[in-house]
Structure 1
Amino acid sequence: MPLPPVPDFLTLTYRPDLHLLVVRWQRRISVAEMQQGYLVLLEYAVLHRCRHWLLDGRRRFNTDRDGAHWMLGTFLPQLQPRLQQRTYLAYLLAPVTLRDQDADAAFPPAAYFEGKPFLGERFVEEGEAIRWLQQQP
């Protein structure tokens, strides 16, 4: 089955040297576009058997509760069956996003990830995010 095309609102690059997928959102997106982008990402992750993702949302600049609800209830539960092991998601965000109460409320607290087959963390510096990904099994 051929891979779906990468939508024009994101770039997706597999880094074999670091064994990670880098996704860069290119603009503000709708919830439907967010869903489309993550589903494409999952297909590329399965192809490369890659469970370490750098998700650059600095240009996207929007996180909302509907999108977060879909991520937690629909998307993230698909990772374990498709990738067979724990998946690590490093979110690269603009510093102002980390101070936004709505964005903060949309991202689950660290305790949420305990015992889950996926782990997410937020960063403002790309190097720090990559180092965190490389420290994960």
Structure 2
Amino acid sequence: MTLPTPPDFLTVTYRPDLQVLVVRWQRLITVDEMQQGYRLLLEYAAEYGCRRWLLDGRRRFNTDREGAQWMVSTFLPQLQLRLGGRTYLAYLLAPVTLRDQDADAAFPPAAYFLDKPFVGERFVEEKEALSWLLRQV
């Protein structure tokens, strides 16, 4: 299968040595662009059979409730159907984003993920994010 080329606001690289999909948002994005980007990521993940994602949002800087609601209610439930098993999402964020109350409120608490076929965690250091992903089976 030929995968679509990512739009200018996104880079997607599959690391076969780590079995990790590395995604880097390149700029601020709209909710429509966020949805377009995540749909594309799912195509890449399905092609490679990859359930470990490193999502670098340090250049993106925006997390909003509308986008988070779409992720939780529409996008994330599709992962198990397409990928089988549990999907692990390590979000790499700028420290200022972690201190932003709106961004923090948009990200579900750890307890939310306990019975879900997906789990997300936030990091400020790429090494820590990769280490967490590599511990997931």
Tell me which residue corresponds to 1:35.
35
**Structure 1 match to 2:92:** 92
Partner of 1:106: 106
User: What's 1:12 paired with?
Assistant: 12
Residues 80-106 of structure 1: CA deviation (Å, up to 9, x unaligned): 000011000000000000000000000
RMSD: 0.7
Residue 120 of structure 2 aligns to a residue whose secondary structure is strand
CA distance in 2 between counterparts of 1:105 and 1:71 reads 14
> Which amino acid in the other structure matches residue 17 of structure 1?
D
Correspondences of 1:1-137 after superposition (within 5 Å): 2-137=2-137
Aligned-pair distance for 1:15?
Answer: 0.3
C-alpha deviation, 1:3, in angstroms: 2.3
Residue type matched to 1:13 in 2? T
Q: CA deviation at 1:2?
A: 3.8
- Find the aligned partners of 1:26 and 1:3 in 2 and give their Cα distance: 19
Distance in 1 (alpha carbons) for counterparts of 2:67 and 2:8 = 19
SS of the residue 1:69 aligns to:
helix
CA separation in 2, counterparts of 1:94 and 1:5?
26
- Residues of 1 paired with 2:4 and 2:117: CA distance? 25
Task: Report the TM-score, using the length of structure 2 for normalisation.
Answer: 0.98
Report percent identity of matched pairs: 77
- Which runs of at least 4 in structure 1 moved beyond 4 Å after TM superposition? none
Secondary structure, counterpart of 1:21 in structure 2 = strand
SS at match of 1:23: strand
Under a length normalisation based on structure 1, what TM-score does the superposition of the two structures give? 0.98
SS, match of residue 24 in structure 1: strand
Within 2, Cα distance between the matches of 1:120 and 1:9? Answer: 22
Gaps of 5+ in 1: none
Question: Which residues of structure 2 form unaligned runs of 5+?
Answer: none
For 1:3, what is the secondary structure of its paired residue?
coil
Deviation at 1:9, TM superposition (A): 0.3
Following superposition, the deviation at residue 5 of structure 1 comes to 2.3
Aligned length: 137
How big is the shift at 1:41?
0.3
